[in-house]
Amino acid sequence: MKLIFFLIVAFFFFLPSPFVQLIPFQQEPCINDAFVIPEKVNIGSLMVISVTVKDISGIATVQAKNYHEKGFDVVNLQLASGTMYDGVWKGTWVVHDTKVKEYTTVVTVFSHSGLSTSVNLTWCDPATWWDLDWSYRKLITLNHNQVPSDQTNFPVLLNITDTELRDTAQSDGDDIAFTDVSGNKLNHQIEKYTAGTGALVAWVNVTSLSSSSDTQIYMYYGNSECSSQQNPHGVWDSNYLGVWHLNETSGTILDSSGNGKSGTLTGATYGADGKISKSISFDGSEDYIDITIAIPSTVTISAWAKSTTSGLADMLWCIGNTGTGGPDLFFYDGNIYLNTWDSGGNLFCVQPNVNQWHLYTTLIDSVANNARLYIDGRLCGTAGYRNPTKATFAISSSNGYDWQGTIDEFCISKIARSANWIKTGYNNVNNATNGGFFSVGSEELALPTRPTLTSPDNNTYTTDTTPTFQWTNGENQENNTLYVDHETDFSDGDEHINISLGPSTTSYTTPVGKALSEGRWYWKVVANNTQGTNVSDVWSFIIDTTTPDQPHLLLPTDNYDTNNNHVTFSWNETADNTTNTSDVSGISCYQLQISNDNFTSLLVNQNTSDNTTLSITVTIAGRLQWRVRAWDQAGNPGNFSETRNLTVFDFSLTATSSALTILRGGTGSTTIQIQVSFGDDELINLSKSEWVGLLPTGVTINFSKLSGNGAFTSIIDFETSGDASTGEFIFNVIATSLTGTRTLPITVRIAGMIFQMSASPTSFSLMRSDSDESRISITFQYGSKESVSLSGGWLGSSPSGVTTTFSSVTDLPPFDSILSFSTSNRASSGEYTYKITATGGGISDWIYISLDIKTNLTLTVESDKTTYEKGQEIQLSGTVDDPNGNAVKSGTVTLNFSTGTWSEQMNAVVTNGVFQTKYYITFDKFEGNWIVAATAVDSLGHTTAIATRINIIITVPEIYKYYTIAILSPLPGQVYKRGEDVSFTVSIVENEIKIRGATVTIQPPDGTKVFLSEISPGLYSKSYTLRMNSKLGNWSVYIAGSTGENEMFKAGFAYVPIKVEPTELSLEIVEPIGKSFETGEKITFVAKLLYPDGSPVEEGIVSAMKNDGSTLNFKKSGNGLYTAVYTAADEDLGYLNIQISATDVYGNLGVIKGTALEIIPMQLSSYFVRYWWFTGMMLLGLSFALGVVTRDVSRTVRLRNFKREVMELGRLKKDKATEYFISGSISRETYDNLLQEYESKLAKLEKQRHIIEKKIQKKKK
């Protein structure tokens, strides 16, 4: 058996190689390359997994297992290029559920052989980049093992030397910035930065420092344009009273806390080597730093210090002054005390080793009532509480116990810092290097900034199938990828162009082999680096190589003829051709071509400005051809439309004279001129037209030429017979071409007489209430004399208040007529034209008169000066000239004084062109700039067009304020009745000195000025009697006092409010008194109405009210007496109650008076006395009957006289009608007034006649 096995092995070993290859051999797939892009990717971003694999059996599947915080996702990769035996497999995954940390993607390749292989790829979710203007950052991890408990707003010291920082940061470190992992900026202070080495000493306020897990922050740098990012004051929380780094090389010791507690150095040495950077060295002899700072009852004082002695009396710090100072941190004889100058000890602990740096942190705690000393973060001892509340402080002692050694990083807090805070601070500073309290990660490059696309522009069109793509790169990209595809989201993975380009490449030209087809294409550029990607906008463009459709013409129609050379060419809208694709560029514009030689040359080659304009108007002439085609927005021209023909031609028709005047039996002629306005010459025909309107007789017309090609002339002759009709006639000459007809009217005036009209003058300038005249002359020239009539009328607008009359309106020439113009005081201003027409002999002539009506006055105003003080008078004067420049005889000037919202008016009388007036400036007026605006009007109605203005300045006298006016009476708000006396008493003082001899006036609202008399030194008084018509209501009485001393004006003013009420009138019933009256008897009432002073009320209103509510009105009967008469009626039987009331026209009221009268029935005896007249009438009855006969005769005579008067009035009416309508000797106003008078008299006579006739007829019956 062993032999057989050996032979079999030997057989296969010695087989030739082709046979060996036939034996199946299995091995794992070989992964040549695998990676993820980008390696740093945020949530929501797309990560690409790529793997290059070889396998002799062929790859079955490739899977990527992407791990995240909630597990993992499996992505199946697809063959992107190559074959299943040797190819590149790719897949994508959207990142989710990750934190700022590193993750793994496991890629597993499965072979058809059943074998597989895997590779682990790492990537991370980085913190969001704080600001892309910063190109670099580094992750700094703070070791939580160095933090005993969580801290907030902790100042962390970073002491770093970094060559990458050296190479890319600004030389002064201004661009160095710090953030937390969420991108929140952290406050920091750079204590030292050395650009040559990249050495950085910086304090960073870490808002949250964890003791359970590492805290991460970022340091950003690499921005050459920014200003300093430091905020030193923000590093130290509000509990710090002062922070002194002690790294100065000269001058003031600066406080970094922002509290401004800088210190003054005495004796000590700057620039010694410190625990961190530089520090201050003290030699024990008058070396100290004084700081003015209020120390609270609880305080934490911390300093890094190195002592060079042991056993001597040294103070690290001291509160207060020698003798009264303390407490202080006292190093004595190898021990450390909280000393207060009491020599009582108060020991903390033993002094540590000398010549070594130690952190001494002292807590003086008023709450715990003790003091605690921490050395290097450990509690070394507790001492008794000593009150530290002093206003001064010294580093070292300033009192003879000065420190010997070096001090660095000194700070004071107003709270008791926790032990863990102190320990964290020690750990940080003592291990403030990379690998100690913190570690610094590798440099990260910022995400690339976004590329900006430039060409092809978005939503544009082109015919180029191999376009060049251009863009502007951003920053930080390591390469660019150009994508071009039909899909807007590039989602199908088969982009037409997907090419990776170098970081500086900004353009790519499509190769011929990749030429783009017609339709819409989308493109973008992706900037890539290891941090991630940034994508440009997605732009699109359309490739269109197909010409648009042909438009169809609208107007003008084919073979159109026109005489208008402004021709509008229009066509139908067309569309772009969509045969190859629906994504076409669309119509851009239309092109119009016009030619006169079948487009060998072009007269017009014009495009529309857009695709909606479907017409173009051009100025053109001649025999023309035109056509239109469309252009699409990609630049493809379409086929031309059909061609149309057009003739544009025009000519003018004129005459050397378009108006002829021909004497009957004579001839006249004019030359007709034909001129071509534009276009090629065309045949033009003249035709003998008809007369327009009235046809004259006895007129013959002849043309010298009736047609011509283009321009020509023709003479027209008009011959009139001796009996030709006269007048003005219109003859139309008509010229016709193929493009239209022209008509020229010729005015032919055939006259039996020729006359001429002239006027002098032909222009006037009038004012209001003015008149002038023009002489109109009619002269005979030749022909048979006939009457000439004159008439006139206004052309255009007619003036108001202007009357025109002719002295003669009809006469035989030659004659003159005077045309008169008269203006009223309300005539309108302006320029007007009056047309005078003369008609006679069958013709008319006219002439124009120009009338200029001027209504504006010229006004000048001046004041005696420009600046006034209150209490002075403004002297105003000026001149007023009429529109012709002459002085106005009489008129009024209105002056308006104003400043701000206040204004006041006054009038001045103008006499012989001059006015003068005064205005007193009371002390209640406003000071400042005043405007005096003046307008004027004269007695003739002329006015100023605009106000004349002058400016004056009103000031307060320098000394007027020294006068104080005290109003002693009346009291403010005191009430008075009309007719009462108001006693005004005032005192005037200046600096408590009474002023004598002042002029004191009061000015009530009624405008009167009352002067007060001096009744004792500085005391002035006067009574003012209120009139019965004084203004009612609240008064504000102005009181002013002034003196003149040594040409200096002194004054003061005041106001007092009073109230004026109506007075009560005295009402007395004079009659009747204590008497009874019978019904039917007249009762006379007499009332007396008096003012309180006993004077009678002359303008009174008295009335009485009876029982039934009816009113009985009284009439004035003289001297305050008012009378009314009433007849007692039956309904008044009993007692008649009368209530009498009274008032005057000023609103003063009388007291209501009542009286009761007894009314009794009428007695029998009273009839004979009261009706004595009845008996007399009975006696007269007989004599009356006798007079009836006599009266009838009298009535007949009166009736005859009435008829005679009616006839006379009728004759007068006829005569006046003749005088007005025929002769015109009376005006229409006179005629109307007389007619009204006659009609009134006729009406009265007719009424009387009717009454008499009626009485006569009644008598006969």
Cα-based distances in Å from 385 to 337, 644, 1141 = 12, 116, 101
1059 pLDDT exceeds 80?
yes
Phi/psi for 1165 (5° steps) reads -60, -25
For residues 549-570, average pLDDT: 94
* Least confident among 469-483, 714-728, 1154-1168: 1154-1168
Dump pLDDT digits (tens) for 399-427. Answer: 778 899 999 999 999 999 999 999 999 99
State the amino acid at position 413 in one-letter form. Answer: S
Task: Check: CB of residue 376 under 8 Å from CB of residue 303.
Answer: no
Task: Check: CB of residue 321 under 8 Å from CB of residue 392.
Answer: yes
Cα-based distances in Å from 399 to 289, 294, 389, 530 = 11, 19, 18, 63
Cα-based distances in Å from 834 to 309, 477, 797, 821 = 126, 90, 10, 10
Residue 744 neighbours by CB under 8 Å, 6+ apart: 653, 654, 655, 658, 672, 732, 733, 734, 735
Q: Are strands 1064-1071 and 1149-1150 parallel, antiparallel or unpaired?
A: parallel
Phi/psi for 1208 (5° steps) reads -65, -45
Judged on CB neighbours under 10 Å (0-12, 13-18, 19+), 689 is middle
In a domain? residue 810: yes
Helices 1172-1217 + 1228-1260 axis angle, to 10: 140
* Same domain, yes or no: 511 and 557: no
* Least confident among 81-85, 1241-1245, 1255-1259: 1255-1259
User: Quick count: other Cβ atoms within 10 Å of Cβ 1123?
Assistant: 16
1193 pLDDT exceeds 70?
no
State residue 853's pLDDT score.
93
Tokens of 865: 């000066």
State residue 44's pLDDT score.
80
Q: Quick one: pLDDT band at residue 321, thresholds 50, 70, 90? A: low
Task: Check: CB of residue 364 under 8 Å from CB of residue 371.
Answer: yes
User: Quick count: other Cβ atoms within 10 Å of Cβ 418?
Assistant: 14
State residue 1074's pLDDT score.
63
* Same domain, yes or no: 395 and 253: yes
- C-alpha gyration radius of the chain: 62
DSSP 922: -
* Same domain, yes or no: 141 and 227: yes
> The domain spanning residue 634 has which CATH number?
2.60.40.10
State the amino acid at position 990 in one-letter form. Answer: E
1086 pLDDT exceeds 70?
yes
Query: Token match 């009491």: residue?
Result: 342
* Burial profile 114-141: b = 16 or more Cβ within 10 angstroms, e = fewer: eebbebebebbbbbebbebebbbbbbbe
Selection from 1231, 1235, 1227 nearest residue 803 by Cα: 1227
| Cα distance between residue 865 and residue 848, in whole Å | 52
For residues 1039-1055, average pLDDT: 69
In a domain? residue 852: no
State residue 1033's pLDDT score.
84
Element (H, E) at 651: strand 650-655
Which of these three, 99, 124, 149, is where a domain ends? 124
1196 pLDDT exceeds 70?
no
In a domain? residue 353: yes
Through-space distance between the first and last CA atoms of the chain, rounded to whole angstroms: 194
| Cα distance between residue 1087 and residue 997, in whole Å | 51
DSSP 1253: H
Query: Residue 847 in 3-state DSSP?
Result: strand
* Same domain, yes or no: 177 and 220: yes
- Which residues sit opposite 1022 in a β-bridge? 984
| Cα distance between residue 734 and residue 739, in whole Å | 14
Task: Check: CB of residue 799 under 8 Å from CB of residue 851.
Answer: yes
Q: Quick one: pLDDT band at residue 1173, thresholds 50, 70, 90? A: very low
Dump pLDDT digits (tens) for 786-812. Answer: 889 999 999 999 999 999 998 888 988
DSSP per residue over 1094-1138, as a string? S-B-SSEEEEEE-TTS-EEE-EEEETTEEEEEEE--GGG-EEEEE
Residue percentage of the chain with pLDDT more than 70 = 89
* Burial profile 1221-1245: b = 16 or more Cβ within 10 angstroms, e = fewer: eeeeeeeeeeeeebeeeeeeeeeeb
* Same domain, yes or no: 387 and 266: yes
For residues 846-857, average pLDDT: 93
DSSP 253: B
* Same domain, yes or no: 570 and 640: yes
Which has the higher per-residue pLDDT, 843 or 567?
567
Query: Residue 655 in 3-state DSSP?
Result: strand
| Cα distance between residue 84 and residue 951, in whole Å | 103
* Same domain, yes or no: 276 and 376: yes
Choose from 10-14, 405-409, 881-885, 1232-1236 the range with maximum mean pLDDT. 405-409
- Whether the CA torsion 291, 297, 303, 305 is positive or negative: it is positive
Task: Check: CB of residue 593 under 8 Å from CB of residue 604.
Answer: yes
235 pLDDT exceeds 70?
yes
State the amino acid at position 869 in one-letter form. Answer: E
Selection from 762, 758, 772, 763 nearest residue 821 by Cα: 772
**Mean pLDDT across the chain:** 86
State residue 1252's pLDDT score.
73
* Same domain, yes or no: 258 and 400: yes
The gap from C-alpha 693 to its chain's centroid, in whole angstroms, comes to: 64
* Same domain, yes or no: 676 and 611: no
- Which residues sit opposite 1013 in a β-bridge? 1021
* Least confident among 370-384, 713-727, 1025-1039: 1025-1039
Task: Check: CB of residue 143 under 8 Å from CB of residue 428.
Answer: no
- Which residues sit opposite 918 in a β-bridge? 875
In a domain? residue 1037: yes
| Cα distance between residue 1152 and residue 300, in whole Å | 98
Which has the higher per-residue pLDDT, 1136 or 68?
68
φ/ψ region of 1033 (left if φ > 0, alpha if ψ in -120 to 50, else beta) reads: left
Query: Residue 555 in 3-state DSSP?
Result: strand
State residue 469's pLDDT score.
97
Dump pLDDT digits (tens) for 87-144. Answer: 999 999 999 988 877 899 999 999 999 899 999 999 887 778 899 889 999 999 999 9
Selection from 841, 848, 838 nearest residue 759 by Cα: 848
The residue range of the domain holding 193 is 130-239+415-446
Tokens of 877: 């004067």
* Least confident among 538-552, 636-650, 1188-1202: 1188-1202
In a domain? residue 1057: yes
| Cα distance between residue 680 and residue 711, in whole Å | 11
Selection from 294, 298, 318 nearest residue 416 by Cα: 298
Query: Residue 1138 in 3-state DSSP?
Result: strand
Residue 708 neighbours by CB under 8 Å, 6+ apart: 674, 683, 684
State the amino acid at position 935 in one-letter form. Answer: T
DSSP 613: -
Task: Check: CB of residue 738 under 8 Å from CB of residue 709.
Answer: no
Which of these three, 543, 572, 594, is where a domain ends? 543
Residue 147 neighbours by CB under 8 Å, 6+ apart: 209, 210, 211, 215, 420, 424, 427
* Same domain, yes or no: 226 and 249: no
Task: Check: CB of residue 588 under 8 Å from CB of residue 463.
Answer: no
* Same domain, yes or no: 627 and 536: no
Dump pLDDT digits (tens) for 154-192. Answer: 999 999 999 999 999 999 999 999 999 999 999 999 999
Q: Quick one: pLDDT band at residue 221, thresholds 50, 70, 90? A: very high
Task: Check: CB of residue 1120 under 8 Å from CB of residue 1097.
Answer: yes
In a domain? residue 1194: yes
In a domain? residue 79: yes
Is the pTM of the predicted complex or chain greater than 0.75?
A: no
State residue 1064's pLDDT score.
87
* Least confident among 357-361, 590-594, 870-874: 870-874
| Cα distance between residue 765 and residue 748, in whole Å | 37
Which of these three, 124, 158, 176, is where a domain ends? 124
Task: Check: CB of residue 891 under 8 Å from CB of residue 910.
Answer: yes
Q: Quick one: pLDDT band at residue 1214, thresholds 50, 70, 90? A: low
Selection from 949, 923, 933, 950 nearest residue 869 by Cα: 923
Tokens of 857: 């006055």
* Least confident among 266-270, 552-556, 1243-1247: 1243-1247
Tokens of 675: 């001129």
Number of domains in the chain: 11
In a domain? residue 15: no
Which has the higher per-residue pLDDT, 309 or 404?
404
Selection from 820, 823, 889, 880 nearest residue 856 by Cα: 880
* Same domain, yes or no: 1126 and 989: no
Tokens of 938: 């004269």
Dump pLDDT digits (tens) for 6-49. Answer: 444 444 444 444 433 444 456 899 998 999 988 878 788 888 99
State residue 1046's pLDDT score.
54
